[in-house]
């Protein structure tokens, strides 16, 4: 099962956070947002397909996020959880930890913003379009 998200980069994308990566539907980004990879993200978790959300809530769910930006690709693997709510109407966060809130779309991720390929990050800092394909098994 798949859920596609699109976002755009911003000059303040630094991808320096060591435990999360994030996309926001906001149309702005301050330098403090060091986990944010893209702005104007759509759809937001509250609008994800119900079947996808239910699949992610399985104890045994494996979630993969494939980021594609101007010929660069990064694959992030993590897990689902019955605690995931997908209720945020603003942003989505992948976490290396087990922490869950209404923005969390993946836990136990093997990659955080700081681990993202720097060529991909540079393209986002130049305003490139990002496609993220979330897949759950």
What domains can be seen in the chain, in order of their start residue? Answer: 2-136 (2.60.120.630)
Residue 105: which pLDDT band, with cuts at 50, 70 and 90? Answer: very high
50-88 burial, b at 16+ Cβ within 10 Å, e below that, comes to eebbebbbbeebebbbbbebeebebebbbbbbeebebeb
**pLDDT given for residue 109 in this prediction:** 98
**pLDDT given for residue 118 in this prediction:** 98
How many CB atoms neighbour CB 108 within 10 A?
16
pLDDT digits (tens, 9 = 90+) for 7-23: 999 999 999 999 999 99
**pLDDT given for residue 22 in this prediction:** 98
pLDDT digits (tens, 9 = 90+) for 43-100: 999 999 999 999 999 999 999 999 999 999 999 999 999 999 999 999 999 999 999 9
Name the nearest CA neighbour of 90 among 51, 44, 58. 44
Average pLDDT (28-39) is: 97
| pTM across the whole model | 0.97
Q: What are phi and psi of 48, to 5 degrees?
A: -65, 155
pLDDT digits (tens, 9 = 90+) for 106-126: 999 999 999 999 999 999 999
């Amino acid at each position: 099962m798949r859920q596609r998200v699109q976002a755009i980069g911003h000059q303040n994308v630094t991808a320096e956070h060591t435990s999360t990566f994030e996309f926001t539907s906001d149309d702005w980004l301050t330098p403090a947002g060091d986990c944010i990879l893209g702005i104007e993200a759509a759809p937001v978790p509250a609008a994800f397909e119900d079947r996808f959300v239910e699949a992610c809530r399985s104890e045994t769910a494996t979630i993969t996020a494939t980021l594609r930006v101007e010929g660069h690709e990064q694959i992030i693997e993590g897990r689902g959880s019955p605690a995931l709510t997908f209720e945020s109407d603003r942003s989505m966060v992948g976490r290396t930890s087990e922490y869950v809130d209404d923005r969390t779309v993946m836990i136990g991720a093997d990659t955080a913003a700081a681990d993202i390929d720097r060529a991909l990050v540079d393209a986002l800092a130049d305003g490139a379009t990002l496609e993220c394909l979330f897949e759950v098994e």
